[in-house]
Structure 1
Amino acid sequence: MAKNSTSSTTVPDTAWLGRGRHFGPEPEQDVRRNLIALKAAGVLDDFLELDPVEAARSTVLHPRDESADPGPSARRLFEARWQAGDDDVPVRAQLTTYDPETRRKESEGVTWVLAAEAERAWDPHWASPATMFWPDSERVAWDHDTAADVRLRTTNHLPKDDDELRRLLRDCTRQSWYVHVVVHEAMTPDAAGQQPVSTFLPPSLRHRVIEHRGTPEQAQIADFAMKRELSVRMPRGGAVILPPYPQRPDYDVDRFTVRSVFLDGSEPTELLDRIQEFAALPRPLPAEAERALTRLRQGWHLLTPDEELVHAQGMVTKYAEALEAMTKSCDLYREAAEAAQAALAEATGGDGVPRAPAPGHVKAEGSPLSALTKAFGRFRDPNK
């Protein structure tokens, strides 16, 4: 897949976007089992699995468009529909699995891209779209970020090497779609303190945050690397939310730095509030994410009965308009042909031999040759 780049637009407030890598042996089978189980439990309204080539050819809601094509490296395309929240807001989502273009061995895993959109602004307390497709189990390794060797749903310890650390910071801020938080351990935490901070976040935000941990002895090296690469500081025993690249005017370094985080299993309220505040800021829409969102909107196949009826009515209207246009074209063609035949007959006297008019007898604009030229001109002028 192409390297991530950023467009000039921002992520719509109705959308949820995710990208990762699955390192298990049967990623599509994991998705199928989860979808079947959730539909049986009544969580999903319905789901659909498609071959990417056939999906691109059979786009339902819109005419065939390149933006609805998942690309040559796509493996499978899954669609799911459900109702979110207490007020049953309709949500549609597509997950596509890919073979990376640079793939050399099985251990590199299978890349996936997920785009979901609701009919109103997304609420972080809704269920995570990721767990509609992927089982929320530690036994299924679907949650690796494609930008760096880090994972959701767990803590990722910072590299000890300075060059590796700086490379990680660059990858996470320039290529990743996720919110990255670095927490420094003032002292080695017990089992409760090792629990990821992200587990306290609302469900839909939980799978948008990747947590990094710095050990007690890494305070100085982490602070130096972040100051040099990102112009932010790593407070001892605190946390910082990494800024996007390039930094936006709405990113306040002090605002998104928490001086103290107690890693004792209690809920770190201040840090959670800052993460939610940061996640609510306008985010640049990566080019690949924009394509995924376009595919969701223009390449949707899992229609409700009402949508199928509206679609059928729309197709009837389009066919009627096309038939009317064809009928008009035929009438114009016939009229032009008859005019051309009449002009030709007048110009040749009906025997195929051209007749020259007497000098000064007929004006140029009224000659048979002029009539013939005008008749054929109807074919060149689409407005006639």
Structure 2
Amino acid sequence: MSNSATDRDTVPETLWAARGRHTGPAPEEVVRRTLRRRKESGDIDDFAEPAVPGDGDGGEESAPHVFEARWRAGGAVTVRARMTLLPRTGRPEGCEWRLVAEAERPWDESWPSPATLFWPEGGAPQDSGWDHHPTVAGVRFRQVNPLPADDKEMRRRLREAAKDAWCVNLVVHEAMTPDERGRLPLAGLLPAGLRHRVVEHRASPQQFRGVNWALKDLGVQVPRGGAVLLPPDPAPKDYGSGDFSVRSVFLDGSEPTELVGALRRFVALSRPLPRGLGEALTELRDHWTLMTLQEELERERQRVTRYAEALEAMTTSRDLYRQAAEEAHEALAAYREPAPAGLPQQRADARTGSPLQQLTRTFERLRFSPKGAKSGSVPGASSGGGEADRPE
């Protein structure tokens, strides 16, 4: 798991991230109960609920809840994940959650979705309300989201959804009214790692012109009976609308092979870190507490190494300071030493060889210059003027 500064500027290949809203009561209890079940079933190795700064100062409503879990994807690759439930203050529509998971090697979309290890996949109604879009009301993951009939409202929704770069927004146009199988969400046909990151916006056959008018501001167009991926904010450098447009999506229950390929290429782009994801990744890496004994030993070794490097730097700085102080004392002593009689002052100053030589010469010139003497006159000369009074 890399810790370099470069990885913090772009989304690492080892990272899986998603965020959403939970609209039911007591989301922390839902997560805690789900993690217990996952540990009992062996889906995860362990989990923890570490304390966070400020927890308990203002009650549960004002403090975030943090959960950590670790498991082995594919039976061999260690994955560390951190779930943060943000306070409900100012969020009456639900509790926002953020989930970041990092593996020891590049993420494989066939691995289990981290979302289903923290959240239940179904069950009671209060357990299934976690898949709401984080910013757009009425939009959910794992479901078909019909676009509004009003064109202006449709444009507003798509623009708001595209701003959230944590999600992958997919717009699908129905070439004809689908049957019962075609009305099912495409999320169930996607790889597990993409299932809870893709938001499916569905346009009806008669909305073809309206949806392309709404997408004009985003610089993309959806083919008739096809699909297009909306550009994230900020957009990757290599993003091209034509590269992530699918001409035909058959809504008959079959696997959308071309669409899955476009999704895989899309998430594999070198993308800038979305707003908030950099902080979440830093918290995962720097404040991780769920360690094995071997990891704790390695962490202590790294800490000892850092202390030794800091001590060596302090010792070097002390020696340099001492050397500079000694040279300053020598220069000061040389400055205070009187010059030998008959020796030009400039020669005495050059003898010191200190860094303050130029400053010393300036002070010496001021010290031996005749103060109060007028220009062109000599001290002790008579004002009368005569041959006997003139100096030789």
TM-score per shorter chain, which class? 0.7 to 0.9
Give the structure, 1 or 2, with the largest relative contact order (CA under 8 Å, sep 6 or more).
1
Q: Which residue of 2 aligns with 1:16?
A: 16
In structure 2, list runs of 5 or more residues that go unmatched. Answer: 1-6, 56-60, 357-392
Where does residue 116 of structure 1 map in the other structure? 101
Q: Distance in 2 between matches of 1:285 and 1:334?
A: 47
Quote the offset at 1:313 in angstroms: 2.0
Kindly report which structure 2 residues correspond to 1:118-157, keeping only aligned pairs within 5 A, or say none. Answer: 118-137=103-122, 139=125, 140=127, 141-149=129-137, 150-157=139-146
- State the match for 2:388 in structure 1: none
**Displacement of 1:325 after TM fit?**
5.9
The CA distance in 1 between the partners of 2:290 and 2:312, in whole Å, is 31
1:132-168 deviation line (CA, Å, top 9, x unaligned): 2122226321111223221111111111111110011
Distance change (3 Å), C-alpha of 1:271 and 1:311 = closer
Distance (Å, rounded) in 1 between the aligned partners of 2:102 and 2:152? 39
Instruction: Name the stretch that deviates more: 13-22 or 287-296.
Output: 287-296
Q: Does 1:239 align with 2:229?
A: no
Q: Which whole-Å CA distance do the structure 2 matches of 1:36 and 1:226 have between them?
A: 44
- Deviation, 1:305, is 1.2
For residues 116 and 161 of structure 1, the distance between their equivalents in structure 2, rounded to whole angstroms, comes to 38
Q: Paired residue for 1:205?
A: 194
1:262 offset after TM fit, Å? 2.6
8 Å contact kept, 1:78–1:95: yes
Which of 305, 308, 328 lines up with 2:296 in the alignment?
A: 308
2:268 & 2:324 partners in 1: Cα distance? 63
TM superposition score normalised by structure 2: 0.72
Q: How far off its partner does 1:234 sit?
A: 4.7
* Cα separation, 2, equivalents of 1:174 and 1:105: 19
Distance 1:129 1:355, change over 3 A: same
2:32 corresponds to which residue?
32
- Aligned-pair CA distance for 1:14: 1.1
Distance (whole Å) between structure 1 residues aligned to residue 325 and residue 270 of structure 2: 61
Deviations 1:180-213 (A, max 9, x none): 22223321532x3322111011111111111122
Higher mean C-alpha deviation, range 128-137 or range 267-276: 267-276
The answer as to whether partners of 1:173 and 1:242 remain within 8 angstroms in 2 is no
Deviation at 1:95, TM superposition (A): 1.3
1:293 is aligned to 281
More strand by share: 1
Which amino acid is the alignment partner of residue 314 of structure 1?
Q
Sort the Cα spacing of 1:283 and 1:317 in 2 relative to 1 into closer, same or farther, 3 A. closer
2: CA distance between counterparts of 1:89 and 1:27?
A: 29
Partner SS, residue 287 of structure 1: coil
3-state SS in 1 of match to 2:121:
coil
What's the TM-score, normalizing by structure 1? 0.73
Counterpart-to-counterpart distance in 2, 1:247 and 1:330: 48
What SS does the aligned partner of 1:147 have? coil
User: 1:266 matched to which residue of 2?
Assistant: 254
Is the 8 Å Cα contact of residues 241 and 275 (structure 1) preserved in structure 2? no
Question: Which amino acid in structure 2 is aligned with residue 162 of structure 1?
Answer: D
Cα deviation for residue 79 of structure 1 reads: 1.4
Structure 1: gaps (5+ residues): 1-6, 56-71, 348-353, 374-384
Shift of 1:302: 1.6
Rate the CA distance shift 1:304–1:359 in 2: closer, same or farther, 3 A.
farther
| 1:158 equivalent among 126, 147, 156 | 147
Q: In 2, Cα distance between the equivalents of 1:203 and 1:152?
A: 13
Q: Distance in 1 between matches of 2:8 and 2:164?
A: 15
Q: Which deviates more, 311-320 or 335-344?
A: 335-344
Aligned AA (1:225): A
The answer for the alignment partner of 1:189 in structure 2 is 179
SS at match of 1:194: coil
Aligned residue identity for 1:79: E
Conserved? CA contact 2:147–2:202, under 8 Å:
yes
For 1:337 and 1:225, locate their aligned partners in 2 and report how far apart those are by CA, in whole Å.
Answer: 72
